[in-house]
């Protein structure tokens, strides 16, 4: 395994970091106060990114993107993740980036022309309707939303929440049960639902620790009541919803983890700067305290170890495919999410009262990224999966609670 970065990638990361410094960080303070008021400045920053040729790194060049490979985009994602604004300004924010990848791989020519092209340009935004308030997210096959076939249409009824970016989105990709009698992973389909379709209701933005967000940086509750869409709005075959979701899940977790590592590095930098400059008595900065030194040392070691684990998982995906890397993907999900929480918490503690304010991005990271241990599979679920696979190598069947018969 060679994790060395090519000269071309090093140059790309340097240009990315320069643009973050010039166009993103100056907008950050205003955006953390109000994404709505900062939107004009953010759109201006997006134009600077496009002019620099760094727009939509995950999309092919023929669609207006950079055409980066999987691992190169993941490494770039760490640089962008240092700011809550980075991915949006560079045109690769969730869930739009994942939705674009789904449309690119599974969309028809007509679907790509109507939705993919404007999404990649950044003319519209999209959301993904999966999680439901009345069904455990840890059991994604247990969906309540139904899409009944009525001639050349589906009629959708359901209730979703934590639909990221639904506020102001033009399109929602809805996971709904179309084949209730099929095996669990063949019951659901993914349907393209324009948000101006009659019966599609944006109920409200859901406050997260007191912050309801705005636009792409928000999570919404939506209802679908007798919502009719043509069968031609279905992605892939009927009942293929989970297969499509799985196609993006492993690579998507890599990108999540790299973004989280970017947050860790930003929090680490802020922690070290504060420790070196904040005096607790004349001539006695925080950095003279051994406990602070230990927090810094622990954070450096944990971040570096997590990064190597993520790159190993990415390498295995490239070498053997996402299915072969399932164990590594599960491991990095809870490993990096836990590292993120610990590093941000230490940085906030070092900042004292300042850390609780929005004068730095630490409080924003703490509010919004605590959920890293919940979404994309709760940490506990991934740990159980990892343990089950490891124990199977020693002949123990976790589900049965006993060793397998000889």
DSSP assignment string, 270-333:
HHHHHHHH-EEETTEEGGGSHHHHHHHHHHHHHHHHHHHHHHHHHHHHHHH-TTTTHHHHHHHH
CATH superfamily of 7-93: Acyl-CoA dehydrogenase/oxidase, N-terminal domain (1.10.540.10)
Q: Tell me what pLDDT residue 402 has.
A: 79
- Give residue 406's pLDDT band: very low, low, confident or very high (50, 70, 90): low
Q: How many CA atoms lie within 13 A of 397 on its CB side?
A: 8
Q: For residue range 278-308, what is the model confidence (pLDDT) as tens digits?
A: 999 999 999 999 999 999 999 999 999 999 9
Confidence of residue 375 (pLDDT cuts 50, 70, 90): confident
Q: What is the pLDDT of residues 136-159, one digit of tens each?
A: 876 777 899 999 999 999 999 999
Is it the case that residue 235 has pLDDT exceeding 80?
A: yes
A 10 A CB-CB count for 262 gives 22
Confidence of residue 225 (pLDDT cuts 50, 70, 90): very high
β-pairing, 188-194 vs 234-235, is antiparallel
CATH class of the domain defined by 243-402? mainly alpha
Q: Would you call 170 helix, strand, or coil by DSSP?
A: coil
Give the number of other Cβ atoms within 10 Å of residue 183's Cβ. 9
Which tens digits make up the pLDDT trace of 340-366? 999 999 999 999 999 999 999 999 999
Percent of the chain with pLDDT over 70: 98
The pLDDT of 211-218, averaged and rounded, is 93
**Residues 6-40 as b or e (16 or more Cβ within 10 Å = b):** eeebeebbeebeebbeebbeebbeebbeebeebbe
What does the alpha-carbon distance between residue 292 and residue 296 come to, in Å, rounded to a whole number? 6
Mean pLDDT in the chain? Answer: 94
Strand partners, 281: 284
pTM summary value? 0.92
Instruction: Supply the Cα-derived Rg of the chain in whole angstroms.
Output: 22
Return the pLDDT at 263: 98
Contact (CB, 8 A) for 200 and 222: yes
Mean pLDDT, residues 159-186: 96
DSSP 231-248: GGGEESSTT-HHHHHHHH
Closest Cα partner for 365 from 103, 65, 85? Answer: 85
Residues 90-117 have pLDDT tens digits of 999 999 999 999 999 999 999 999 999 9
Q: How many angstroms separate the first and last alpha carbons of the chain?
A: 37
Sequence spans of domains, the chain:
7-93, 126-238, 243-402
DSSP annotation of 398 reads T
- Gap between the Cα atoms of 50 and 9, Å rounded: 18
What does the pLDDT read at residue 314? 85
> Distance between alpha carbon 115 and the CA centroid of its chain, in Å?
21
Cβ-proximal residues to 3 (8 Å cutoff; 6+ apart), any chain: 308, 311, 315
Q: Write out the two tokens for 115.
A: 């939705």
**One CATH from 1.10.287.10, 1.10.530.10, 1.10.8.60, 2.40.110.10 for 126-238:** 2.40.110.10
């Amino acid at each position: 395994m060679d994790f060395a970065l090519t000269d071309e990638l090093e140059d790309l990361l340097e240009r990315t970091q320069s643009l973050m410094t010039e166009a993103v960080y100056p907008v950050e303070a205003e955006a953390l106060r109000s994404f709505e008021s900062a939107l004009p400045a953010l759109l201006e920053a997006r134009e600077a990114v496009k002019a620099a040729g760094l727009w939509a790194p995950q999309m092919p060049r023929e669609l207006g993107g950079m055409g980066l490979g999987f691992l190169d985009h993941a490494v770039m994602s760490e640089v962008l993740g240092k700011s809550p604004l980075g991915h949006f300004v560079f045109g690769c924010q969730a869930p739009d980036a994942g939705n674009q990848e789904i449309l690119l791989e599974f969309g028809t020519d007509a679907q790509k022309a109507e939705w993919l092209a404007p999404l990649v340009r950044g003319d519209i935004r999209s959301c993904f309707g999966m999680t439901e308030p009345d069904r455990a997210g840890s059991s994604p096959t247990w969906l309540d939303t139904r899409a009944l076939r009525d001639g050349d249409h589906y009629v959708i009824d359901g209730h979703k929440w934590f639909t990221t970016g639904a506020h102001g989105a033009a399109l929602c990709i809805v996971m709904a049960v179309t084949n209730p009698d099929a095996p669990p992973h063949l019951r659901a389909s993914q349907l393209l639902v324009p948000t101006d379709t009659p019966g599609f209701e944006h109920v409200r933005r859901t406050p997260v620790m007191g912050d309801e967000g705005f636009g792409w940086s928000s999570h919404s509750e939506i209802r679908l009541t007798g919502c009719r869409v043509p069968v031609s709005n279905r992605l892939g075959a009927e009942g293929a919803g989970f297969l499509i979701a799985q196609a993006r899940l492993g690579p998507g977790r890599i990108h999540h983890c790299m973004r989280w590592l970017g947050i860790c590095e930003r929090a680490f930098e802020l922690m070290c700067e504060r420790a070196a400059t904040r005096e607790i008595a004349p001539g006695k900065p925080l950095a003279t305290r051994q406990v602070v030194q230990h927090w810094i040392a622990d954070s450096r070691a944990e971040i570096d170890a997590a990064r190597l684990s993520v790159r190993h998982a990415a390498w295995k995906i490239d070498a053997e495919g996402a299915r072969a890397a399932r164990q590594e993907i599960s491991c990095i999900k809870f490993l990096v999410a836990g590292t993120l929480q610990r590093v941000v918490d230490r940085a906030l503690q070092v900042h004292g009262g300042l850390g609780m304010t929005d004068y730095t991005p630490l409080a924003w990271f703490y509010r919004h990224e605590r959920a890293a241990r919940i979404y994309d599979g709760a940490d506990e679920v991934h740990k159980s999966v990892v343990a089950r696979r490891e124990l199977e190598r020693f002949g123990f069947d976790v589900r049965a609670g006993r060793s397998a018969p000889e």
